[in-house]
Amino acid sequence: MGFVPEVSSVPARSAVVPARRALPGAPFLVAARGERPGRVPVWFMRQAGRSLPEYRALREGVPMLDACFDPEMLAEITLQPVRRHHVDAAVLFSDIVVPLKAAGVEIDIVPGTGPVVDRPVRDAAAVRALPALEPEQVAKVAEGVGLLVDRLGETPLIGFAGAPFTLASYLIEGGPSRNHEHTKALMHSEPRLWHDLAGRLADVAVTFLRAQLDAGADAIQLFDSWAGALSERDYREFVLPHSTRVLEAVAAYRVPRFHFGVGTGELLVAMRDACADVVGVDWRVPLDEAVRRLGGEAVVQGNLDPALLHASWPVLEAEVRRIVEEGRAARGHIFNLGHGVLPGVDPDVLTRVVELVHSL
């Protein structure tokens, strides 16, 4: 039997949960509750940025992480795809390493590479030295959320955080990794140290999500981008307890909790078991098959292959129609990509996909 981690305490907070704005008819929230809205709702991961010319113009000369801590800029970037595409939800412009940067970890986003850590975290001293995240350190992000709640009208806002495993992978590997060899080696060789690290990162994620929810976010998504590198056995032993702590810690807000990872077709049930209300499905598993694996009463999100946004319209239209039809097997379905919008996508194609989904 593997090492069973001690459950560390979730950061203390007031028992009072702020009142939420009422959006009873928002199709995104209706579907997330497992009900049937008047249309299939749609939003896109990474819709805020990258593919939009107005985003590139606004960000010119501004480093990514600087933009994430500028309330007016992050609010404007978050609003851009809502104005252009008429999607059914806005997703906060941010990055999964924002709370680490805010806490004082020496990490940066290198163009063309991704998050890079100055000093990888691979021993007990480095884990002990990791700073905790305090709410005031992400006050600028919360301020941006407040601006968005005032400006979005009837469109819900999704907040998000990186899951403990993915954050740990960046810290241990020192940046993006194909094989996650250092992470897996530490996980199996030093399980107590791994659980200490993952527990600290769960605390970071909880603090970051609560800051967004206290400021008015209407839903949250926990991204475990690299969890697909794990077997289900390893996921349940080393990852599930910590992701569960994160999602349980925000249950009192009574907002939909989404959980998503790439290449996680074999982990869908385990990721649902982490207290997720909605399971994100990437393009590798058809939605009706994902629903079958999840027991038939699932609420799912997905799952167009982002690369097909570059295909001819007849090809893309057929794929969208197929996915919407497969999604009818679920108790609730929110149309999305199976990962994020690629940088070179024609934004007019995204707008056309939204119009098609809404017409179905």
Residue 304 DSSP symbol: E
Q: Does the annotation mark 210 as catalytic?
A: no
Among 70, 84, 170, 196, the one annotated catalytic: 170
Return the SS3 of 333.
strand
Helix axes 164-173 and 181-189, enclosed angle (nearest 10): 110
Q: Does the annotation mark 95 as catalytic?
A: yes
Among 95, 196, 203, 224, the one annotated catalytic: 95
Q: Which residues contact 55 (CB under 8 A, 6 or more apart)?
A: 48, 49, 77, 80
Among 59, 210, 245, 257, the one annotated catalytic: 59
Q: Does the annotation mark 50 as catalytic?
A: yes
Return the SS3 of 87.
coil
Residue with tokens 């606004």: 58
- Strand 299-304 and strand 114-117: pairing? unpaired
User: Which amino acid, residue 261?
Assistant: G
CA distance to 84, 131, 198, 309, 318, per residue, from 12 (Å) = 40, 16, 18, 44, 49
Among 50, 236, 293, 331, the one annotated catalytic: 50
Q: Which residues contact 259 (CB under 8 A, 6 or more apart)?
A: 163, 221, 222, 224, 243, 247, 271, 272, 274, 276, 278, 279, 280
Distance in angstroms between the alpha carbons of the first and the last residue of the chain: 50
Beta strands of 63-151 (E only): which ranges? 90-91, 107-110, 114-117
Among 46, 210, 257, 272, the one annotated catalytic: 46
Q: Does the annotation mark 46 as catalytic?
A: yes
Residue with tokens 């039809």: 325
Q: Does the annotation mark 59 as catalytic?
A: yes
Task: Tell me the catalytic residues.
Answer: 46, 50, 59, 95, 170
